Amino acid sequence: MDFALFVQYALSGITVGSVYAIVAIGFNIIYCTTGIINFAQGEFLIVGAMTAISLAEVAPLPVAILGAVLITTALGAVVELVFIRQVRNASVLRLIIITIGLSIVMREVMLHIWDEQVRSLPYFTGTEISTVTILGAHISPQVLWVLGVSAVIVAALTLFFRYTTTGRAMRACADDRMAARLCGVNDRWMVTLSFMLSAGMGALAGCVVSPITQTQYDMGAPLAIKGFTVAILGGMGNSMAAVAAGLFLGLLEAFVVSVLPSSYKEVAAIVVLLLILVFRPSGLFARRDMSALRTA
């Protein structure tokens, strides 16, 4: 294939891969602080996008997005306080099942609040037919927004975890919860904060991709599955690796389409997941110490 076509595929892969990466980072944050796999992570993206769409009818776009992020963050806190905190002596099995149940219930509530119609946010810049040319490939300017926002989120998180007290407290919890408590860290609040952070991040990601992918009440689950694949691929808990793994999976899917019938695209992701789980469950980039929250 010629270079322009190659770049076209690559860009399509990177776009979709960065969304996967954001979902994976959301998983990682919660996993590191609590050990829980949050199956409802995908739903946070959709709730954020849907809320923004509703708010955008009465407010300018930036305000709508901000409002959606705040509301979804609050939702994340509510979810943690009401459902997760109540479970004592929780085994992994129980927590997994609870988050699965949450994912389903959130999806159904969204269906009844917003009905089954497909909606989308307006493009941040330009319209549906604007296109930007990069190295011979044509993409929508929204793609640049997706890449930009993802990069900002990752950068902001890195700074947060490295340089702020709260961030370091969360990392402490991830490393050793009891020790963190002994140091005076309010670990229960850290758990709530991790949910809030994941939810808010997810909402922002949901908003930025909404013009490209459109938003429908049941899009959460497939996103969560892909995001989880990416999280495991990079190694649970390792956010920088999640970014790399997300881009890898996105590119893999895009290039699979170029040589095989496109129905194999979905299978590629699942096969990758199974291979990783069987041969290297700690992930491609894992080092010895698995439980730390690493963003750098």
Partner 1 sequence: MMRRRIYYPVLAAAALVVVLHVALAASGKTYYMTQITMSAYYALVVIGLCLLMGYAGQISLGHAGFFAIGGYTIAVLTTYNLGNWRDTPAIGLLRSLGLLMQWQDMYGRDILSFSPWLAFAVALLLTTLIALAIGLPVIRLRGHYLAMATLGFGLIIYRIVLGARLLGQADGISNVPAFGLADGLQVNGRAPFRVQNYYIAWFAVLAAMVLSLNLIHSRVGRALRSIHQSEEAAHSLGIDTYRYKLATFILSALFAAVGGALLTHYNGSIGPSEATVMKSVRYVAIVAVGGMANLWGAMLMGVVLNFLSLRGVFGSFDDAVFGAILIGVMIFAPQGLLRMPRLRAVTFLLPRRKRA
Partner 2 sequence: MRTRLAATLGVLVLVCAVLVSGCKKSPEAPAPKQAAPGAPPIKVGAIFSITGPASFLGAPEAKTVEMFAEKLNQSGGVLGRRIELLVRDSGGSPEKAISLAKQLIDEEKVLAILGPSTSGESLQIKSICQEGQTILLSCAAAEEIVVPLASYVFKTPQKDSQAAQCIFNTMKDLGITKIGVITSNTGFGKGGKAHLEKMAPENGVEILVNEVYEKEATDLTGVLTKVKGAGVQAVVNWSIEPAQGIVAKNMKQIELNVPLFQSHGYGNIKYVQGSGEAANGTIFPCGRLLVADSLPADHPQKALLTQYKKDYESRYGEDASTFGGHAYDAILILTEAIKKAGSTDPKAVRDAIENLQGLVGTAGVFNFSAQDHNGLGLDAFEMLTVKDQKFAIYQK
Q: Which residues bind partner 1 (CB under 8 A)?
A: 37, 83, 86-87, 92-94, 96-98, 100-105, 107-109, 221, 225, 228, 232, 263, 266-267, 270-271, 273-274, 277-278, 281
- With beta carbons less than 8 A apart as the criterion, state whether 196 and 44 touch: no
Rounded to a whole number of angstroms, the minimum distance from the CB of residue 204 to partner 1 is: 26
Across 131-195, the runs of DSSP E, i.e. the strands, are: 132-134, 137-139
- Looking at the Cβ atoms of 1 and 274, the one nearer to partner 1 is 274
Please give the distance of CA 280 from its chain centroid, rounded to a whole number.
Answer: 22
What span, in angstroms and rounded, lies between the C-alpha atoms of 256 and 259? 6
What span, in angstroms and rounded, lies between the C-alpha atoms of 46 and 286? 30
Rounded to a whole number of angstroms, the minimum distance from the CB of residue 133 to partner 2 is: 8
- Looking at the Cβ atoms of 109 and 156, the one nearer to partner 2 is 109
- Looking at the Cβ atoms of 159 and 271, the one nearer to partner 2 is 271
What span, in angstroms and rounded, lies between the C-alpha atoms of 289 and 296? 14
Q: Pick from partner 1, partner 2, none: which does 232 bind, CB < 5 to 8 A by kind?
A: partner 1
What span, in angstroms and rounded, lies between the C-alpha atoms of 34 and 194? 9
Rounded to a whole number of angstroms, the minimum distance from the CB of residue 129 to partner 1 is: 32
Q: Pick from partner 1, partner 2, none: which does 85 bind, CB < 5 to 8 A by kind?
A: partner 2
Q: Which residues bind partner 2 (CB under 8 A)?
A: 1, 5, 8-9, 11-13, 15-16, 78, 81-83, 85-86, 105, 108-109, 111-113, 115-118, 120, 127-131, 137-140, 209, 212-214, 216, 218-219, 222, 253-254, 257-258, 261-263, 265-266
The torsion region of residue 235 among left (phi > 0), alpha (psi -120 to 50) and beta comes to left
- Looking at the Cβ atoms of 176 and 264, the one nearer to partner 2 is 264
- With beta carbons less than 8 A apart as the criterion, state whether 29 and 166 touch: no
Q: Pick from partner 2, partner 1, none: which does 288 bind, CB < 5 to 8 A by kind?
A: none
Q: Pick from partner 2, partner 1, none: which does 5 bind, CB < 5 to 8 A by kind?
A: partner 2
What span, in angstroms and rounded, lies between the C-alpha atoms of 140 and 208? 13
Q: Pick from partner 1, partner 2, none: which does 125 bind, CB < 5 to 8 A by kind?
A: none
- Looking at the Cβ atoms of 123 and 248, the one nearer to partner 1 is 248
User: Could you tell me the CA-to-CA distances from 285 to 21, 34, 36 in Å, in that order?
Assistant: 15, 21, 21
Q: How many CB atoms lie within 10 A of CB 228?
A: 22
Q: Pick from partner 1, partner 2, none: which does 10 bind, CB < 5 to 8 A by kind?
A: none
Using only the alpha carbons of the chain, give its radius of gyration.
19
Q: Pick from partner 2, partner 1, none: which does 103 bind, CB < 5 to 8 A by kind?
A: partner 1
- Looking at the Cβ atoms of 9 and 31, the one nearer to partner 2 is 9
Rounded to a whole number of angstroms, the minimum distance from the CB of residue 282 to partner 1 is: 10
Name the strand (E) or helix (H) holding 23.
helix 3-34
Work out the angle at residue 49's Cα, subtended by the Cα atoms of residues 43 and 51, and round it to the nearest 5 degrees: 100
